Amino acid sequence: MSTIKDKLYRELELKIATSVEGISFDPRIFRNLDITGKYQEEVHCVFEYDHEHHVGIHFPAGFLSPHGLTFPIKWDRRSQYSFILENDVYYLTYKGVVIFPIEFLDRPEYYAEKTSDGTPMNTLAVYTRNGAILTAYSNECAFREKGRDCKFCNINATKQAYGEAEGIGWKYPHQIGETVAAAYRLDGARHFTLTGGFVAERREVEYYLDVADSIREHTGLDDFNGTAVIGAPHDLSVIEKYKEAGFRTIATNIEIWDKHLFRAICPGKAIESGGWGHWVKTLEHEVAVFGRGKVRSNIVAGIEPKESTLEGVEYLASKGVLCLVTSWNPNPGSAFEGHRAPEPEWHIDLFRKVAGIFRRNGYTWDELYDCSPTPESPINDIYRIEEETLPVFNRQVQPLAAV
Ligand code: SF4
């Protein structure tokens, strides 16, 4: 008989597979689902992860598997995975065979609130689950102007498609402070990530300081457990200021570890922001300021060979940086639209190896949580499965033959 851990790993493999392959469905299947009421909706605050646009049609943000893993929904009409609805129960299926019933994610309470200037809070910060919220202060990237945006990125296309339709644009510090306070108060949120595309003037420091002031004022917390996601600054001495402002952690996303591919895939970061060596130096300097385990990076996994990604994760882990990996999703509107990511098994193996590197280097769940923009990623899941901290370890679940 398989253990809960075995079942969770099987569900995790499905989570990664459905994330890579997408899930097929006719959007009308959600006709009677209370999206934006009982259930959390997708909000296109920065990227579209579905494999085609669906402007004006709400999708649920994700769903829970029987043992409590959070699955994202990435719509792809070519996928062999699909949703079906029978007797008011939604099921995940593969080639038409039921895998398990699913539960969509509850909508957080702050999504129904508005700021003092009348802006809906669901357009200001996305609930990324398990007490974490994320704000993209700018939903465009200035690298686009010279054709130097990252090849996998669709931030500008997403803004063009959804910005007006969903009321998403530039955010002001007071709006963010009020929204973070509401999420912390109403939904027990306890981690905040501030990110965004490059802005031409590079006035990030002043802006991030204003946001931190506003959050402290509205939450009453000196340490609000925030992660400042920044591009590598030309002057590394500004990194101190983020710490002084009250951010607990900092992140700088290198995206690609191979320096030659970095230049080709991320031309803006390479040409206008110091180049690969400067991004690595920035991460090392961030550790000197914030401390080991309080700095995060990210690699978009599946563009370069796995060995190169693992070399980067291993190197950065040895330097005090948690370098997450996210499965490359050839987003609509990116230069890679229509490409294919590696097979799900490729990603499953990578996530296991990355989690192994973190654990071997002694990084704790708390350190991982405090710097994760989405604390329900496969790496986070592996930590919670291995440490048996998922709620399922404290409750009885009916065995499901198909899982
Ligand atoms: S720097 Fe690259 S990944 Fe970041 S927003 Fe700009 S184009 Fe996208």
Concatenated DSSP letters of 94-105? ETTEEEEE-EEP
Tell me which residue has its CA closest to atom 8 in ligand 1: 153
Q: Do 403 and 11 contact (CB within 8 A), yes or no?
A: yes
> Does 300 sit in the ligand 1 pocket, CB within 6 Å?
no
Instruction: Report the pLDDT value the prediction gives residue 401, as an integer from 0 to 100.
Output: 43
| Rounded CA separation 230/232 (Å) | 6
Q: Is the dihedral of CA 231, 232, 235, 241 positive or negative?
A: positive
**Whole-Å CA distances, 4 to 7, 65, 328:** 5, 13, 29
> Does 153 sit in the ligand 1 pocket, CB within 6 Å?
yes
Instruction: Report the pLDDT value the prediction gives residue 403, as an integer from 0 to 100.
Output: 41
Nearest to 22 by CA among 84, 90, 71, 88: 71
| pTM assigned to the model | 0.95
pLDDT per residue as tens, the chain (403 positions): 579 999 999 999 999 999 999 999 999 999 999 999 999 999 999 899 999 999 999 999 999 999 999 999 999 999 999 999 999 999 999 999 999 999 999 999 999 999 999 999 999 999 999 999 999 998 899 999 999 999 999 999 999 999 999 999 899 999 999 999 999 999 999 999 999 998 877 678 999 999 999 999 999 999 999 999 999 999 999 999 999 999 999 999 999 999 999 999 999 999 999 999 999 999 999 999 999 999 999 999 999 999 999 999 999 999 999 999 999 999 999 999 999 999 999 999 999 999 999 999 999 999 999 999 999 999 999 999 999 999 999 875 554 444 4
Q: Match domain 109-379 to its CATH number in 3.40.50.2300, 3.20.20.70, 3.40.605.10, 3.10.20.30.
A: 3.20.20.70
| Rounded CA separation 337/145 (Å) | 19
Using DSSP, state whether 138 is helix, strand or coil.
Answer: coil
Task: Tell which one of 153, 195, 273 to mutate to probe ligand 1, the residue whose CB is within 8 A of the most ligand atoms.
Answer: 153
Q: Where are the domains of the chain?
A: 4-107+390-394, 109-379
CA of 231 to the centre of ligand 1 (A): 9
Tell me which residue has its CA closest to atom 4 in ligand 1: 197
> Does 149 sit in the ligand 1 pocket, CB within 6 Å?
yes
Instruction: Report the pLDDT value the prediction gives residue 2, as an integer from 0 to 100.
Output: 77
Task: Tell which one of 198, 279, 331 to mutate to probe ligand 1, the residue whose CB is within 8 A of the most ligand atoms.
Answer: 198
> Does 196 sit in the ligand 1 pocket, CB within 6 Å?
no
Instruction: Report the pLDDT value the prediction gives residue 402, as an integer from 0 to 100.
Output: 45
How many Cβ atoms sit within 10 Å of the Cβ of residue 96? Answer: 8
